[in-house]
Structure 1
Amino acid sequence: MKIALFATCIVDAMYPEVAQATVSILRRLGHEVTFPSGQTCCGQMHINSGKFAQAEPVIAAHARAFSSTEWDVAVSPSASCVASLGHQQPMVARRMGNEALATEAADIASRTFELSQLLTDVLGITDAEADLGSYFPHRVTYHPSCHGMRLLRLGDRQSGLLRSVEGIDYVELPLADACCGFGGTFSVKNPEVSSAMLADKVRTVHSTGAEVCTGGDASCLLHMGGGMSRFQCTGNFEGTPDVTAVHVKQSSSTEPRDDNADHLTAVVGAGDDDHLRTSENETSPAEPSRVQSGLRVGQSTVHLARILASTRQDPLRVQSEGATVSGGSLR
């Protein structure tokens, strides 16, 4: 089968190893992989911000790139971008009065699959160890991205493939269906809310004791990995087996009062209301005490494709084995 790879802009710019892993998996199965030139972005950032006029040429560029070459199906290691192709692109083109582009975009979207969709629904892969030779002997938890879960309705496709990897110690993530707080432009426009959601997500990842948190969207993993990295940097843990304190505080001052300024504080590793406790004589939120439940050294994020591409002959290493972690993401 001839499979066209839609790498996505964030994978191309930040995580090219994810695209390489996707190609490796498909070639291992005997398929021809082609990379349509001229591809850039799906336009999701523009569309989510209501910039339909600016999104139209981006959609047109995607349509041109994937109409310029022959392929049977297309694949992308991003549930978010695949969802945008089908859910947003035709709608925006029609809203802009471009019916021809809407039809072309819908046709391309109908033949474009997220990686786990392609593997399970099209190629019939259900056992990663037997069919792909996947090997990753580490404790792993999994975050299902919002678009994969709610728009593509991936169900257990990604987690099922993960569970079948040889040697993996798979552990469920508490409150897995909660958003990580990225939401594309949401994290830029609503940083305080996004950071609070991220703190909750990182706290649940830590509770699993997993070395790695994986998922199928590089954008979510970028957000979560960056959060892990920032949280780790707040504790003095160099050379020690555990972070002694993860104490993340983002404060914004309101109007000053007679005693001192009120502070809004988000804490990772403490109870949800720890920062609200006051004594009888205090009139402002108390400074959170240092906690002893920080992130483990070596906890990081990594895309599902890289775990599926890992084999006994060419294993993906984790930080404890000497792998590099940049911005909380396994390299």
Structure 2
Amino acid sequence: MTKSPLTLYLAAPRGFCAGVDRAIKIVEMALEKWGAPVFVRHEIVHNKYVVDDLRAKGAVFVEELDDCPDDRPVIFSAHGVPKAVPAEAARREMVYVDATCPLVSKVHIEAARHAENGLQMIMIGHAGHPETVGTMGQLPEGDVLLVETVEDVATVEVRDPEKLAFVTQTTLSVDDTADIVTALKARFPAIVGPHKEDICYATTNRQEAVKAVAPRADALLVVGAPNSSNSKRLVEVARKAGCPYAQLVQRATDIDWRALDGIASIGITAGASAPETLINEVIDAFRDRHDVTVETVETAQENVEFKVPRVLREPA
């Protein structure tokens, strides 16, 4: 039986970013240095395949520091943690390693600096997301106000409209965030923004690549986890950019083949915490069914690398 032709537009950049790469490396190096088990507070990155792989190597994933024994190393996830968490680990004299992405740490430092200057913080982010919880937890409770939408800006109650600053979660939709920032500046003209965009380079680059692919593809698949903020944003960006069908899949087994029946071109990308292995798995699944031509659509090149903490570079 002859396979029908199918063009796959492979978005680039896609998949792992420097912060995710560093976080995974931190867990692997901690296991090498201290042996198993090494405890990790929250999923190190939002990807089941990655977490399962590290679990098999001896990482134990927990949600709270209370679930960790005092005598084993603990690692804080790439999303960042409230200030109280490392303080408690230090009080318990635990060995801990902070795998917070340096670009998230930059937002933490920004928030603290604004607070020192007497400014009340507004955070643009998603309620309950670990990165939002971590950033808001850099300052005393109530000092950071959360807005998720343009509508929230109209109702947010501030102490002094003349003394405000804002920060954002690093994995948001660039376009949606721009609309919220515009609303904040319209309501609070004196509000101070970050020196440099808080949304990280990897989030921006992956969204730009999707915008380039979406108008050319009949459908677009984002390889990523349902709890991954940047992956979910890629689905939204694809739909807004004119792709009639955009779907989030964790693995090739999640592909809805009926929805893709008769389609001639498909875009493929991956969230920043999805490994290339899973992207290749999806491509292979299409090759099993179609005569596939792969075309890469590259909109940027990335060569960012973050060092792991010194404690892991020193001998045990």
Question: Normalised by the size of structure 2, how large is the TM-score?
Answer: 0.34
- Bigger relative contact order (CA 8 A; separation at least 6): 2
Question: Normalised by the size of structure 1, how large is the TM-score?
Answer: 0.33
